[in-house]
Amino acid sequence: MTFLFGGHETTGSTMSWVFTMLNDRRDIAHRIRQEYSQVVAKHGSLSTWEAADELKLTLAVIQETMRLRPTVYQFLPRRVQTDDNLPTMDGTSVCITKAPQLIDTTTIHRNPKFWTNAESFEPDRFLEGTEAWMADLELRGGKPHAFFYLPFSGGTMNCIGYRFALAEMQIIVAMFLSQFEVELTPTANTNPLFTGVILRPLNLEVTLRPVDVPTA
């Protein structure tokens, strides 16, 4: 039941942001269609984990979308039991008082100390070996993006369904874009709407146009 219902709103909101981001990046949407065509030509469908795992660009687009627009934009507060000093990466420390503390994922995800061109939508930063990926890695002193990137929290207590959610979104986004061109309408309002701990577009209104799947 957790897998079926727990991620319904968060997954839907994330895919809303994916199509919002791609509205201005038709070149990336085209690359996703090419990727889909190649994977289906090889496997016959996306019905296996092996096939879905080869949708690397589609996954990178979802990951970059969640970096800029994390659906869960902050974690539930935790109360610190005693005052303490929290060491930081640059060698300094931050005083943590005996009070509720929040982790704001949006701030971490857009911090230029950890991400090059932090405000830009660059899915290639999640494709290992690309120029954008190397630039981010160098900026972080060779450290991977774990704990600089927290759409599903982190550590042993992270989201139990994150792998399922990513695979689900990969398949849906790739299959949807293989059939439709998605364009925001003039009346669409993509300003963020905060509902509890969920972040979604205020009014995602789109026009769908059939497209031909490009050949590999």
- Which distant-in-sequence residues (6+ apart) come within 8 Å of 150 by Cβ? 70, 75, 103, 105, 108, 109
The rounded distance, in Å, linking the Cα atoms of 122 and 64 is 7
Say whether pLDDT at 78 is over 80. Answer: no
Q: How far is CA 178 from CA 37, 175, 210, in A?
A: 8, 5, 9
Per residue in 11-35, pLDDT tens? 888 999 999 999 999 999 999 999 9
Asked if residues 150 and 103 have their Cβ atoms less than 8 Å apart, the reply is yes
Q: How confident is the model over 105-130, as a mean pLDDT?
A: 94
Q: Where are the domains of the chain?
A: 1-72+151-210, 76-109
Which of 6-10, 18-22, 139-143, 158-162 has the lowest average pLDDT? Answer: 6-10
What is the token pair recorded at 123? 């899915």
Q: Per residue in 156-186, pLDDT tens?
A: 767 777 788 899 999 999 999 999 999 999 9
pLDDT at 214 over 70: no
Whole-number pLDDT of residue 24 = 92
Positions at the binding site: 159
1-72+151-210 CATH choice from 3.90.1520.10, 1.10.540.10, 1.10.3720.10, 1.10.630.10: 1.10.630.10
pLDDT at 1: 53
Annotation: binding site for heme: 159
Give phi and psi for 207, each to the nearest 5.
-110, 135
Q: What is the arithmetic mean of pLDDT over 142-155?
A: 84
* Distance, CA of 205 to CA of 107 (rounded, Å): 27
3 — pLDDT class (breaks 50, 70, 90): low
State whether the Cα torsion 19-25-28-30 is positive or negative.
positive
Q: What is the pLDDT of residue 76?
A: 66
The pLDDT of residue 92 is 85
Percent share of the chain, pLDDT over 70: 92
Phi, psi dihedral angles at 62 (to 5 degrees)? -65, -45
| Contact (CB, 8 A) for 156 and 130 | no
